[in-house]
A and B are shown apart, each in its own frame.
Chain A
Amino acid sequence: MQTKRTIFPNRWLPFALLAPQLAITLVFFIWPALQAAKSSFEREDPFGFKTTFIWFDNYAKLLADPMYLNSLWRTLIFSVLVTVIAMSVSLVLAVATNRLLRSGRIYTTLLVWPYAVAPVVAGILWWFMFNPSIGILSYVLGQLGVDWNHRVNQDQAMILVVLAASWKQISYNFLFFVAGLQSVPASLSEAAAIDGAGPFKRFWTIVVPLLSPTTFFLLIVNINYAMFDTFGVIDGTTGGGPAQSTNILVYKVYADGFLGLNIGSSAAQSVLLMLIVIVLTIVQFRFIERRVQY
């Protein structure tokens, strides 16, 4: 690990400087994570008097539970859809913005602010638009002959949460794509233009390859976002329903542990989720640290 060439010789000061962050990290991060790991191996009796150590029973039960597998499947569908929609729309907008010299900044300002909208608020906004009794979009769909009711229709519920989650994430991706596009040297495009390459050909052969580190970074961030930060979107719109159709993993941890009070199972779910995050983070660091510096 890197340090300065010269350093301050001091015995106690660095510990004093580190103490606040270490204390909070140990108490509110490491300790709870260890507790989650511990209780994932235990079963608590219904009255909370006795806990028994049961090895991997919670995990085995979980992985055999069709509800959990359904939740896993729903999370996969949800994450893929959100990632694809949020990234493709923001790429189109970023490319368009990058073409403009003067008005680009105005469009940027008009497009970035949804970043600051809380996920649950985004959920409520879309829920309001799709509200079966007064929503404007459900009304328009009704005129087109589509009977919209996300309270009973599973696919429609999924569409609703995907739209709300993507809407919020587009502004974030947009900023990173704009930053990535601006670092593509103009001389390359000019040289290709002189060679007779049109704008679309230039985009595919020059911009897309040079943008790949940004794209990969955003891919990981978006998967992370869809899996963990969308709790509010789900809670503000469908609450996991109807019939478990939008009950993604992070919501299920909360619902099983907090509403269902099934501590052992919820802890095992927490641990599995942590493993997923750790894998994602490692992938991110291994690839991004290496490839982003061009």
Chain B
Amino acid sequence: MVENRPWLNILTHAVLIIGVIVMAFPVYLAVIASTHGPGDFLRGVVPLLPGPHLLDNYGQMLSQGMSTSGAPPLTLMLVNSLIMAVVIAVAKIAISITSAYAIVYFRFPLRTAAFWVIFITLMLPVEVRIIPTFKVVADLGMLNSYAGLTIPLIASATATFLFRQFFLTVPDELMEAARVDGAGPLKFFRDILLPLSRTNMAALFVILFIYGWMQYLWPLLVTTDSKFYTVVMGIKRMAAYADADPQWNLVMAAVVLAMLPPVLVVIFMQRLFVKGLVETEK
């Protein structure tokens, strides 16, 4: 701040407080709604203060789910989401770091071609080639499996690019010294490059975990067996029923539970999250 202007400071705080309220209000309402009994939604307007049914609602959702919507208990869906998010994050980091290593530290025929094949995935989000991708997965017999949920989402170039950029900044002397000491490429990778990339890997893990957790369209298509439902897609199913049979308290409990893990990751891993975000995007 260059100079002291009290009225501008007040304005600044006012703007930010309004911003925080607007951003938080939808979630506040969801939390409040999830503490009420089903009857409280028949009267007309959604309540603005907490009710006494917090434990009942969450307990019921976690153990039984919403029976009318045919959705399984939330515990199962949360576990599925967790598996999906972790597998996507770990596998994506693993395949990108090795391919970035190959592209930066070796010279081989078709290197540029391989680079572009990977690069082009940046331009083809799942949403735009949804039907042929679904067909490939169906032909491979991967519908209703964790493999079908995760593998098609694993290959994308952002992580490869991040590691490529990072490897290019690693000083050449490190590798020359390793070679003089008789280290082969795999030893160099394991003992020097991997430890150096630890922060990048952690930052990327945070971003990719959230990415995997938020997936909606893909799980919607490849899972017809409720054993493999993820929580984000399961919620839509419940919301569709809540309009006819107003069990908003239960739907909102599910919404809160579906939001909680990734939001906590963002809040507690903020430093890594920001690092990962700013680096992957640029």
Contact = CB atoms under 8 A, between A and B. Distances in A.
B1 A101 contact: yes
B236 to A, nearest CB: 6
Which bucket holds chain B's interface residue count? Answer: 35 or more
B194 to A, nearest CB: 13
B108 A6 contact: no
A221 B281 contact: yes
B281 A274 contact: no
B33 interface: yes
Which of B96, B133, B152, B176 has the most chain A CB within a 10 Å cutoff?
Answer: B133
A31 B184 CA distance: 35
Interface in B102-152: 102-108, 111-112, 114-115, 117-118, 120-125, 127-137, 151-152
Interface stretch (A54-62, A71-79, A103-111, A152-160): A103-111
A184 interface: no
B67 interface: no
A252 B88 CA distance: 27
Contact of A267 (B132, B184, B232): B132
A96 B128 contact: no
A287 interface: no
Contact of B27 (A33, A125, A278): A125
Contacts of B152: 24, 28
Contacts of A11: 108
B260 to A, nearest CB: 9
Given A17-B98, A25-B155, A136-B48, A270 B130 contact: yes
Interface residues of A, number: 105
B124 to A, nearest CB: 6
A245 B94 CA distance: 43
B29 A125 contact: yes
A97 B15 CA distance: 9
A243 interface: no
Interface string B258-282: 1100110111001001100110011
Interface string B177-210: 0010000111010000000000000000000001
Question: Which 10 pairs across A and B sit closest by C-beta, in order of nearness?
Answer: A32-B132, A116-B262, A24-B155, A17-B102, A35-B132, A14-B106, A118-B214, A125-B26, A14-B102, A273-B128
Interface of B: 1-3, 5, 8-9, 12-13, 15-16, 19-20, 22-27, 29-30, 33, 41, 44-46, 48, 94-96, 98-99, 101-108, 111-112, 114-115, 117-118, 120-125, 127-137, 151-152, 154-155, 160, 168, 172, 175-176, 179, 184-186, 188, 210, 213-217, 221, 232-233, 235-236, 239, 243, 246, 248, 251-252, 255, 258-259, 262-263, 265-267, 270, 273-274, 277-278, 281-282
Interface of A: 1-8, 10-11, 13-15, 17-18, 20-22, 24-33, 35-36, 39, 89, 92-93, 96-97, 99-101, 103, 107-122, 124-129, 131, 133-136, 139, 167, 170-172, 175-176, 179, 186, 189-190, 193, 199, 202, 217, 221, 228-229, 231-232, 235-236, 250, 253-254, 257-258, 263, 266-267, 270, 273-274, 277-278, 281, 288, 292
13 contacts: A13-B186, A22-B114, A35-B132, A89-B19, A96-B19, A100-B12, A116-B214, A186-B2, A190-B2, A235-B217, A235-B236, A258-B221, A263-B131
